[in-house]
Amino acid sequence: MYLLAPTVLRIAPEALPAQVRARFGSELRRSGAFAHLCMLGAQACLDAAGEDGPLAVLWSSRLGALHASRAALDESLQRGEPAMPFTFIGMQPHLAGALLAQRAHPVTRSAHLHLADEDWPLLLFMAQGWLAECKRVLVGRVEESASGGVAHRSDWCLLRKKPLAGAIRLEPAPDQEGGTTATAEDWIARVAAWAAGSKAPLLLRGGKDAWRFALGK
């Protein structure tokens, strides 16, 4: 399995609306901050990867669409107003797949997961399974800022089955010792930093799993 375009976005909450307008104009109607973050990161990653074809999208977060969930309960139910479309049955975290498809990306599979910090390596096993049926899997981690002064996070990378010039090869390393413990929040950023500098392979751990990243075929 090969990894392309590790992309790390940190966006100040107050800067998000302007960035969304600049990148997508008014296309992202009826979606909230979480979906906007997903789209900014996913689109930046796809732009950097620069290739096309059927796409699966697998992204995780710890809390999901925090603000949209609170708003749905607080503003709708508590005031006795009808719940509006897109604010219930977990639509906000799930919207990114459909929004990407609406922007002409051929999405064939998509899922958003709430995943614990240490379980990030499982996303790579899931993607490996999906790559049996799909050429590319876009993998992301998105977290809305829960408090002022903390940036929103939207980190993405593109996985593919076949090698490509400049792609990072990755494989499970169950028996390998050493390495660095990473979390769901920082593993893509670690891969991006490593890819920008070092030539030696990178071993990242999470839970009971380890994955090895190396440059070249």
Partner 1 sequence: MTEAFVRATALASALGPDLDTAVERLSGSPLAPARNTTAGGAWPYFEIPVAGDDWMKRAEAVARAVAGSLRREAALAPDEWAALPCIIGSSSHSVGAWDRGGWAALVPPLEFSRMLAQSFGARGPAMLVNTACTSGLSAFDIAVSLVASGRFRDVLVLGVELSNRLTVAGFAGLELLSATAARPCDRARDGLVLGEAFAALIVSAAPGPWRIAALASGMDAASLTGPAPGGEVIAGTMRSALAMARWTGAAVDLIKLQAGGGRLGDLAEARAIRELFAPPPKTVSLKGALGHTLGASGPAELALTLASLARGRVPATWGFAAPDDELGLKPSGGDAKGVSRVLFNLSGFGGNVMSLALEKSG
- CA distances to 27, 112, 138, 188, 209 from 123, in Å: 29, 11, 11, 12, 11
DSSP string, 102-142: HTT--EEEEEEEE--GGGHHHHHHHHHHHTTT-SEEEEEEE
Q: Which of residues 6, 32, 41, 97 is near partner 1 by CB under 8 A? A: 97
Nearer to partner 1, 52 or 133 (CB): 133
Q: In this chain, which stretch among 8-16, 40-48, 89-97, 190-198 interacts with partner 1, using CB under 8 A?
A: 89-97
- CA 40-56-9 angle, to 5 degrees, is 25
Q: Which of residues 18, 22, 77, 150 is near partner 1 by CB under 8 A? A: 77
Residue 146 in contact with partner 1, rule: CB under 8 A: no
Closest separation between CB of residue 34 and partner 1, Å? 11
Residue 177 main-chain phi, psi, to 5 deg: -95, 170
Q: Which of residues 30, 150, 198, 216 is near partner 1 by CB under 8 A? A: 30
Footprint of partner 1 on this chain (CB under 8 A)? 30, 56, 60, 62-64, 69, 72-73, 76-77, 80, 82-91, 93-95, 97-99, 101-102, 107-116, 119, 122, 125-130, 132-133, 172, 207, 209
